[in-house]
Chains A and B, each alone.
Chain A
Amino acid sequence: MNFAPVLLFFAAAFALVLISLILNRLLAPRNPYPLKLTTYECGEEPVGSPWIRFNARFYVIALIFVVFDVEVLFLFPWAVNLKTLGMFAWIEMAVFILILSVGLAYVWAKGDLEWIKPKPDNYLPTQESK
């Protein structure tokens, strides 16, 4: 177990960005004026702030993700031991996955995985109607 090279890679990435930015500072022209520093909005004057309240869908997806992320965390130690522990370990994980599949089924059935929720009027005739 040797994490030193990992740190070296982080350091190398940091150094590369830093050196390039210093080079850029030395070589590039610097002539800012207010018009140049305006926010890009396809040539229009920016309207309103982008820092608005966001669609809660993103938050819901992140919530579901956290739960499955923790599951993945448990799966890796299981996977490396599977060959030595055999059938018993497999059943344990099958139960584990099954329990969490109930969660997936729940969010699926409740429509939390749908990105756009169509209003009943927008439904096609073939789908359930109000």
Chain B
Amino acid sequence: MIIELLTQIIFWAFVILTVGSAIVVVFSKRIIYSAFALLFTLFGVAGLYVFLAADFLAASQLLVYVGGILTLIIFGVFLTTKLHGMSIPEQTHQRYLAIIPVAGIIAILFYVFFSVDWFAHASAAEPTTKDLGKLLLTTYLVPFEVASVLLLAALIGAMRLARPREEDQDD
């Protein structure tokens, strides 16, 4: 009984952590706070993955999003000049046009939310890594290899963009 109650409390704590920090990310006036608040959002999502019995995904969330992408974002913020007191432009452009994609995303999220039987998946708490690997190497072989090409393209493209301008002319 108490264990179930505790689990519930922890689950809601993770939900509040995720949503609360996400609100800070979106509404913070200082971009550096947004970046650091993202740490708690990503950590909270990793916690929610654990509740869904997706252990490998939870650790990957930390490894790739916190370790990789968030570090990249923070480095990117450090690259912006005059960081101190910099405010994000608050004007919104094309407000009405934006409704269409946002509504689309919300519709997809709601569809997924209601179409998956979350509790059934979470109760089958089995290690996922082995099965994941097997699926990747057999059924989803082509997407897996394509992913490497995608990563390669991303690397080369990003490097090309990140390189200083004057060198581009040398190439």
Contact = CB atoms under 8 A, between A and B. Distances in A.
Given A1-B53, A59-B72, A96-B144, A80 B129 contact: yes
Given A54-B78, A58-B78, A70 B68 contact: yes
A54 B72 CA distance: 13
Interface residues of B, number: 49
The CB with the most chain A CB atoms within 10 A, among B10, B80, B130, B159, is that of B159
Interface in B49-89: 50, 53, 55-56, 58, 60, 63-64, 67-69, 71-72, 75-76, 78-81, 83-84
Interface residues of A, number: 44
A78 B130 CA distance: 8
B129 A77 contact: yes
A103 interface: yes
A70 B153 CA distance: 13
Interface stretch (A35-43, A105-113, A121-129): A105-113
B16 interface: no
A18 B74 CA distance: 26
B136 interface: yes
Interface string A91-124: 0100110011011001100101000000000000
Interface of B: 10, 50, 53, 55-56, 58, 60, 63-64, 67-69, 71-72, 75-76, 78-81, 83-84, 125-127, 129-130, 132-134, 136-138, 141, 144-145, 147-149, 151-152, 154-156, 158-159, 162-164
9 contacts: A65-B72, A66-B72, A67-B151, A67-B154, A69-B67, A77-B133, A78-B133, A92-B141, A100-B155
